[in-house]
């Protein structure tokens, strides 16, 4: 979305824009492409399956070590102090949880394949469709300290985003999504693969660069925590921004277009932004 249309042009287009507004009001516009929506929900399914089964697997040894080796005869750097599904782990609890590792491991790796397959498709789509460049790469003007601080303050106040923000990600959103997509997910896949003995044999450097088998396991756990924090903030922000609208946009791809009866009356400034959006809607910039 491009809001920097010159004033004069906006004014000139005011009449036709209002006419267009009436037309578009009956025809909701595309917010997210089908590729983004499908990969988003496939990733959601895979992530929740991985999280649940990963949690079950951790319960069979809820202790973490650095380096290559670690077992109950060694000191962990992190002991979750949770009950375990194995009686060989000294937990301090007087009971042992049922063993769920069989199906958990099967499903964990099946969901991992789904996540990786979806991720590869999304990566190719994002590169070739311009999705990354257009929707995720922040404008350089947004990366100034002042702009970042302003956006952060807005978020910290849980300020409900204006209608103009419904059509484009703000700078913090862009940076967060980029970090999740290009740092956390790849780290998750790498540390996960590094724990596989078959992968270790075929690509030993993949384990050595991380610092060892147990370090890979610890990092896998730590990145999980970061992803869970992301998920929680992500869902809270959906509620802050308007659950119905955002869910509709990510499921059906469309949103109530601006200026319909459902939306409140527009301030002059908002009106200008929306008209500018309508003007630029001739180019397919919806994602």
Radius of gyration of the chain (CA): 24
Q: Which is nearer to another protein, 139 or 225 (CB)?
A: 225
CA–CA distance, 240 with 258 (Å, rounded to integer): 18
124 and 233 in contact (C-beta within 8 Å)? no
C-alpha dist (Å) from residue 267 to 46, 133, 162, 262, 278: 42, 31, 11, 15, 16
Q: Which is nearer to another protein, 57 or 240 (CB)?
A: 57
Question: Residue 185's closest CA among 129, 111, 234, 115?
Answer: 115
User: Two tokens at 201?
Assistant: 């044999």
Query: Phi then psi for 105, rounded to 5 degrees?
Result: -70, -45
Q: Which is nearer to another protein, 88 or 152 (CB)?
A: 88
Give the total residue count for the chain. Answer: 287
Q: Which is nearer to another protein, 72 or 232 (CB)?
A: 72
Q: Which is nearer to another protein, 3 or 116 (CB)?
A: 116
Least distance CB 280 / another protein (angstroms): 23
Binding site for another protein (CB under 8 A): 57-58, 60-61, 68-74, 86-88, 101-103, 105-107, 109-113, 195-204, 207, 213-214, 217
Beta bridge partners, 254, equal 30
Least distance CB 73 / another protein (angstroms): 4
253 and 30 in contact (C-beta within 8 Å)? yes
CA–CA distance, 187 with 123 (Å, rounded to integer): 15
21 and 279 in contact (C-beta within 8 Å)? no
Least distance CB 57 / another protein (angstroms): 7
Q: Which is nearer to another protein, 71 or 152 (CB)?
A: 71
66 and 74 in contact (C-beta within 8 Å)? no
Q: Which is nearer to another protein, 139 or 201 (CB)?
A: 201
Question: Residue 250's closest CA among 242, 262, 258?
Answer: 242
| Residue entry with tokens 């929306």 | 274
Least distance CB 54 / another protein (angstroms): 11
Least distance CB 84 / another protein (angstroms): 9
Least distance CB 257 / another protein (angstroms): 20
Least distance CB 279 / another protein (angstroms): 24
């Amino acid at each position: 979305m491009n809001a920097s249309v010159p004033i004069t042009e906006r004014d000139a287009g005011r009449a036709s824009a209002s006419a267009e507004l009436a037309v578009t009001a009956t025809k909701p516009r595309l917010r997210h492409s089908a590729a983004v929506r499908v990969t988003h929900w496939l990733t959601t399914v895979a992530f929740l399956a991985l999280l649940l089964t990963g949690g079950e697997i951790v319960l069979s040894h809820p202790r973490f070590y650095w380096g290559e080796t670690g077992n109950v005869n060694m000191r962990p750097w992190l002991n979750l102090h949770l009950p375990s599904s194995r009686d060989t782990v000294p937990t301090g609890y007087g009971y042992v949880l049922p063993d769920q590792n069989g199906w958990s491991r099967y499903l964990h790796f099946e969901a991992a394949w789904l996540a990786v397959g979806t991720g590869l498709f999304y990566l190719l789509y994002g590169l070739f469709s311009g999705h990354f460049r257009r929707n995720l790469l922040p404008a350089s003007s947004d990366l100034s300290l002042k702009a970042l601080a302003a956006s952060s303050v807005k978020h910290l106040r849980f300020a409900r985003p204006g209608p103009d923000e419904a059509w484009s990600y703000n700078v913090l959103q862009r940076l967060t999504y980029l970090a999740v997509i290009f740092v956390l997910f790849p780290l998750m896949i790498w540390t996960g693969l590094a724990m596989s003995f078959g992968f270790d044999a075929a690509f030993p450097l993949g384990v050595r660069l991380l610092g060892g088998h147990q370090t890979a396991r610890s990092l896998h756990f730590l990145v999980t925590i970061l992803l869970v924090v992301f998920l929680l903030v992500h869902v809270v922000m959906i509620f802050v921004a308007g659950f119905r609208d955002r869910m509709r946009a990510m499921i059906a791809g469309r949103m109530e277009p601006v200026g319909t009866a459902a939306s409140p009356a527009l301030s002059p400034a908002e009106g200008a932004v929306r008209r500018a959006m309508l003007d630029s809607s001739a180019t397919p910039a919806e994602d």
